[in-house]
Structure 1
């Protein structure tokens, strides 16, 4: 009989970036090997559409209740699967009851995947109650119960190895053969500096707000923000594009220089450098805060620049805005790095090892 795998995900298929670029793009390879794949998301399509919109409190509450109900029904049929792949958590709130039942009662082989330092409470006073309800401490327990752990970078893997000897580093990867393809056909006049991300990471733009505003007094360039919500940013005259899966790559190709500022903290160490990888795959140089995997992905002075101080951000951004030839050279080197180390093709066999 063929092996069977159940993917338990937070969100519906083909919606969230962490799912699309960590494992969804590998499912076809599993099926090519004769493995039967099923999926179940906690959040359904209807709830996903309003999840991050203001209001809709009752609909969101009902959506959460339905998610718990689906997970309960899942336990009744989980015995038919050889592996259960859990991305981040089986349920967004409360202790790891479903993971415990799957591993300890049903003896299923759990493959646990995470791509952030989710054992830490990334919280402020305003959302401290919600953070406690997320039960961050469950990450250690799930790691301990799992057959294998798939971590997005070495920092995350080091944490997981405290509890499990079978930990694999599976970086977030891009399809450089068919999806993330560079396009330099634009005929626009001004250079475009750009950032992309979700509403939860828009706060990092505050770190370079003054630098961008000062440079705009010296040099002509545009600043483009691609996000799932319109930002409340102090960057003067920024352009905003709502994130759209269908036009994502074309929208990113409008950017000439990518930026990925981060705080120098423990949470940032768990980041997997996805923004930087996207820019590099499209042959764009990128400026990053050199913390965690960012320092490995971006080679300083080769595919982009490491920037920590305000002066470094301003100077290196100014250099790239003024030097088209340098942008091209760095862009080419960046794509070479992604193709070699962070592409679906380069990581396929590593990912499939999880199911051997």
Structure 2
């Protein structure tokens, strides 16, 4: 559909070098880069990929473990991204995903932007979190306290175009660059299969998926879970965390894996996405919410940021602010398998129509092809 509208450059309309910040196990890179590559290739874009981190470094040196882990992790990421400069000559454009050094002067990205200009290459910058601020859900690290507040703006101003994961992030980017486009984080529905048949789950499984860095959001639901567990059989299933505890409630912890992700999501009776109402949370793109919905799991979520755009309260999910609203939303879904099935169907349709790869890849391809001319 797109191919006929653009000039053919030796079999490919545009050659783009993608620079993801992490291997495929990294959720941001997996959904913003890797899953899109085969679809973009079908649209006439020849893709190359230069990951900032080898898998062994990503797996063996998680930054949360301390200073020396951070030094190896971010040192390797910065060095690898700098090396990408030498690959620019083989491409028409470069797609920079996020910053490899989240809190200091972004010299790797600025060097790529400068080299791109000198070589006549188009430079795209993609981000899907409020990386210009820090979470308030935990204490700031020393690096976060000393962070360069203008680091993201410097990179955005140096690029030809910016691709933001939601309108809130796009609003920030427009302060520095007029060529800003919104492409939501989306899912490939082919991996999620058909909707599962409804049934009466006993016990009910309230599920959450995420990372150790975001698991603390579950603390917001501790009083909710305790209230519900006092009158119903309730199991809380946490995927990708490991530390969350809720006295009086059965909590299961499951390790995340790429192969087992979808089956674990489909095991949930209800999916939850609690958030604090702050700048960091408003920058989130609703990934776990969309994962639940794609898997046919009814959802209850905080009405923060993009969640309010995704969820029509009472139709394809519930939005909840207070402990009372959270408990009422989850309890309503527990009591009505029919409502769960109806909401699951509408939720899946929402993803299919607005947040699937199939619904968004043509727009991303058109943005890149237009700016890359």
Q: State TM-score, norm by structure 2.
A: 0.88
Q: For residues 186 and 326 of structure 1, do their structure 2 counterparts lie closer, same or farther at Cα, with a shift above 3 Å needed?
A: closer
Say which of 59, 80, 88 aligns to 1:70: 80
Say which of 7, 17, 35 aligns to 1:6: 17
Say whether the 8 Å CA contact 1:118–1:136 is kept in structure 2.
no
Say which of 228, 232, 235 aligns to 2:244: 232
Quote the residue 2:7 is aligned against: none
Deviations 1:298-355 (A, max 9, x none): 1100011110011111112111111111111111111111100000111111111232
- RMSD (Å), alpha carbons: 2.3
Quote the residue 1:338 is aligned against: 351
Query: Equivalents in 1 of 2:368, 2:45: separation in Å?
Result: 9
Query: Equivalents in 1 of 2:82, 2:50: separation in Å?
Result: 12
Say which of 133, 147, 166 aligns to 1:120: 133
- Structure 1 residues not aligned, in runs of 5+: none
Aligned-residue offset at 1:177: 2.6
Quote the residue 2:207 is aligned against: 194
Query: Equivalents in 1 of 2:291, 2:164: separation in Å?
Result: 19
Aligned residue for 1:295, secondary structure, equals: helix
Moved more, 210-219 or 15-24: 15-24
Say whether the 8 Å CA contact 2:64–2:70 is kept in structure 1.
no
Moved more, 126-135 or 272-281: 126-135
Q: For residues 287 and 61 of structure 1, do their structure 2 counterparts lie closer, same or farther at Cα, with a shift above 3 Å needed?
A: same
- Whether 1:265 and 2:275 are equivalent positions in the alignment is no
Residue pairs, 1:89-238, within 5 angstroms: 89-92=99-102, 94-107=104-117, 108-122=121-135, 126-132=139-145, 135-179=148-192, 181-184=194-197, 189-227=202-240, 229-234=241-246, 236-238=249-251
Deviations 1:258-277 (A, max 9, x none): 11110011111111111111
Aligned residue for 1:6, secondary structure, equals: strand
Aligned-residue offset at 1:123: 5.7
Query: Equivalents in 1 of 2:354, 2:149: separation in Å?
Result: 30
Moved more, 23-32 or 99-108: 99-108
Q: State TM-score, norm by structure 1.
A: 0.92
Say whether the 8 Å CA contact 1:103–1:146 is kept in structure 2.
yes
Q: For residues 314 and 140 of structure 1, do their structure 2 counterparts lie closer, same or farther at Cα, with a shift above 3 Å needed?
A: same
How many equivalent pairs are there? 354
Q: For residues 62 and 245 of structure 1, do their structure 2 counterparts lie closer, same or farther at Cα, with a shift above 3 Å needed?
A: same
Quote the residue 1:52 is aligned against: 62
- Structure 2 residues not aligned, in runs of 5+: 1-9
Say whether the 8 Å CA contact 2:18–2:33 is kept in structure 1.
no
Say whether the 8 Å CA contact 2:98–2:126 is kept in structure 1.
yes
Aligned residue for 2:213, secondary structure, equals: helix
Query: Equivalents in 2 of 1:204, 1:182: separation in Å?
Result: 28
Say whether the 8 Å CA contact 1:191–1:221 is kept in structure 2.
yes
Quote the residue 2:261 is aligned against: 248
Aligned residue for 1:218, secondary structure, equals: coil
Quote the residue 1:322 is aligned against: 335
